[in-house]
């Protein structure tokens, strides 16, 4: 599937020329000179013209509005990709009204029920913009809620998987590792990985009331090892001072099965909430992408209609088409389109004063026909 398309319109103004005959000529030229370029008719309905002044005023906003709508489409697509990746789901082809996005574009049919063709064009464009803006606002709220849960989980994971010097130790300690009585207490010491021999040979002498051979290694990471040590409660403060002088860190820790179970339940609930919200947001994004893309294509139809009238004049008489030329064929396809425009248009648009001037469509190049590019990604 191509991800970059041209939407163009050609004037139907030569004597004896009709949209059907021009379409046949375009098909013939593309098949003979650029056979690898997909070509489709883009069906623009007879919309309400209004006044030329109203069209001129509307054309000023069309390019900016297109950038906005296209941007929202891309945001939703990226959100879908992130959610699918987070769920370990293989990315599938996105659809619009039940068909692939490229099919929706190449077989575009105007939705009269949603956008009556007799409505003023400014009203139609305004409806499209407001619908897309509302979807963007909804996405911001929904994504923020989902990302909040993800942030909470990330914070918990950092506590549980970081360095022993700072991480939560509760899931590394078992009840049998701790001794707590009227006189005895077990401390947890964080020992630099390469100082373990020093710890084992010296911890008993850090204070006279340390229980001999009471130190046991519980865990080791890339930097530190976690050891227990049991001693009389009355010398805890002195022991901590002497340990710190030797470069050993004693972590404050109180073993609580209830607190550990509470943290475990909180983690499980957050994981469940995250998956529920991910699934819900993903389904919403699928539906919203379809809605935004459909709105975008209707907007493109309005844009082609307005720019064609401003370019070719009244009454509306033009052929609109969708092409997806490979990069190597773009120059040839441009040449074909220019040739079909007729000499009058080509001479004007190739005059020295107009070379390099952007057309109404906001393209970086000027062409003697209406042309703008849309990108799916």
Express each pLDDT in 16-57 by its tens digit.
Answer: 889 999 999 999 999 999 999 999 999 999 999 988 888 998
Q: What is the pTM of this model?
A: 0.78
What's the pLDDT tens digit per position in 151-193?
A: 988 888 777 777 888 888 888 888 889 888 889 999 999 999 9
Asked whether the beta carbons of 77 and 289 are under 8 A apart, the reply is: yes
Whether 360 has a pLDDT exceeding 70, the answer reads no
Whether 373 has a pLDDT exceeding 70, the answer reads yes
Backbone angles phi, psi at 217, to 5 degrees: -80, 130
In a domain, 184, yes or no: yes
Q: What is the total residue count of the chain?
A: 377
Q: What are the residues facing 226 on neighbouring strands? A: 190, 219
pLDDT top residue among 348 and 103: 103
CATH number, domain with residue 210: 3.30.70.100
- pLDDT reported for residue 166: 81
Nearest to 329 by CA among 91, 44, 94, 2: 2
Query: What secondary structure does DSSP assign to 354-372, as a single string?
Result: GTT---TT--SS--SSEEE
In Å, what is the CA distance from 179 to each residue of 36, 173, 175, 176, 323?
78, 12, 8, 7, 77
Provide the domain limits for residue 230. 174-254
Sign of CA dihedral 115, 120, 125, 127: negative
pLDDT top residue among 139 and 349: 139
- pLDDT reported for residue 347: 41
In a domain, 326, yes or no: no
Q: Largest Cα–Cα distance in the chain? A: 111
Mean pLDDT of 238-264: 86
What's the pLDDT tens digit per position in 286-310?
A: 999 999 999 999 999 999 999 999 9
What's the pLDDT tens digit per position in 223-234?
A: 999 999 999 999
Asked whether the beta carbons of 69 and 128 are under 8 A apart, the reply is: yes
Confidence of residue 349 (pLDDT cuts 50, 70, 90): very low
In a domain, 99, yes or no: no
Which of 69-78, 114-123, 199-208, 352-361 has the weakest average pLDDT? 352-361
Taking the C-alpha atoms of residue 146 and residue 144, their distance in angstroms, rounded to an integer, is 5
Paired tokens of 123: 């009203």
In a domain, 331, yes or no: no
- pLDDT reported for residue 262: 80
In a domain, 142, yes or no: no
Q: For the purposes of burial, counting CB atoms within 10 Å of the CB of 126, is it exposed (0-12), middle (13-18) or buried (19 or more)?
A: middle
Paired tokens of 225: 């090892």
- pLDDT reported for residue 1: 64
Q: Report percent pLDDT > 70 for the chain.
A: 94
Q: How many domains does the chain have?
A: 1
The dihedral formed by the CA atoms of 192, 196, 202 and 203, expressed in degrees to the nearest 10 = 70
Confidence of residue 259 (pLDDT cuts 50, 70, 90): confident
Whether 214 has a pLDDT exceeding 90, the answer reads yes
Whether 263 has a pLDDT exceeding 90, the answer reads no
Confidence of residue 343 (pLDDT cuts 50, 70, 90): low
In a domain, 61, yes or no: no
In a domain, 332, yes or no: no
In a domain, 245, yes or no: yes
CB atoms within 10 A of CB 304: 23
Q: Where are the beta strands (DSSP E) in the chain?
A: 4-11, 39-41, 95-96, 99-100, 184-192, 216-220, 224-232, 249-251, 318-323, 370-375
- pLDDT reported for residue 225: 95
In Å, what is the CA distance from 192 to each residue of 182, 197, 200, 203, 250?
31, 10, 12, 14, 12
């Amino acid at each position: 599937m191509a991800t970059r398309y041209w939407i163009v319109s050609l004037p139907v103004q030569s004597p004896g020329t009709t949209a059907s005959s021009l379409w046949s000529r375009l098909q013939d030229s593309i098949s003979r000179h650029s056979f690898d370029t997909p070509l489709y008719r883009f069906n623009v309905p007879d919309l309400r013209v209004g006044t030329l002044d109203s069209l001129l005023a509307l054309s000023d906003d069309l390019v900016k509005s297109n950038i906005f709508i296209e941007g929202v489409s891309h945001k939703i697509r990226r959100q879908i990709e992130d959610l699918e990746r987070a769920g370990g789901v293989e990315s599938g082809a996105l659809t619009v009204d039940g068909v692939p996005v490229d099919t929706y574009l190449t077989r575009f049919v105007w939705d009269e029920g949603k956008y009556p063709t007799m409505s003023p064009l400014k009203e139609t464009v305004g409806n499209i913009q407001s619908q897309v803006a509302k979807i963007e606002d909804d996405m911001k709220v929904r994504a923020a809620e989902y990302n909040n849960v993800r942030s909470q989980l990330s914070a918990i994971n950092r506590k549980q998987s970081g360095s022993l010097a700072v991480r939560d130790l509760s899931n590394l300690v078992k009840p049998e590792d701790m001794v707590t009585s009227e006189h005895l207490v077990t401390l947890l010491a964080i020992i630099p990985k390469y100082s373990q021999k020093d710890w084992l040979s010296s911890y008993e002498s850090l204070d006279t009331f340390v229980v001999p051979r009471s130190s046991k290694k519980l865990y080791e990471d890339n930097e530190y090892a976690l050891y227990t040590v049991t001693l009389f409660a009355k010398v805890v403060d002195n022991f901590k001072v002497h340990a710190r002088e030797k470069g050993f860190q004693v972590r404050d820790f109180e073993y609580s099965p209830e607190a550990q179970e509470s943290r475990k339940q909180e983690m499980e609930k957050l994981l469940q909430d995250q998956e529920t919200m991910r699934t819900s947001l993903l389904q919403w994004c699928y539906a919203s992408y379809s809605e935004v893309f459909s709105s975008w294509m209707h907007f493109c139809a309005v844009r082609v209609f307005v720019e064609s009238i401003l370019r070719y004049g009244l009454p509306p008489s033009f052929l609109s088409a969708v092409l997806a030329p490979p990069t190597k064929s773009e120059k040839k396809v441009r040449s074909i389109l220019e040739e079909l425009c007729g000499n009058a248009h080509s001479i004007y648009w190739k005059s020295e004063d107009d070379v390099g001037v952007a057309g109404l469509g906001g393209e970086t190049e000027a062409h003697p026909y209406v042309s703008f590019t849309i990108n799916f990604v």
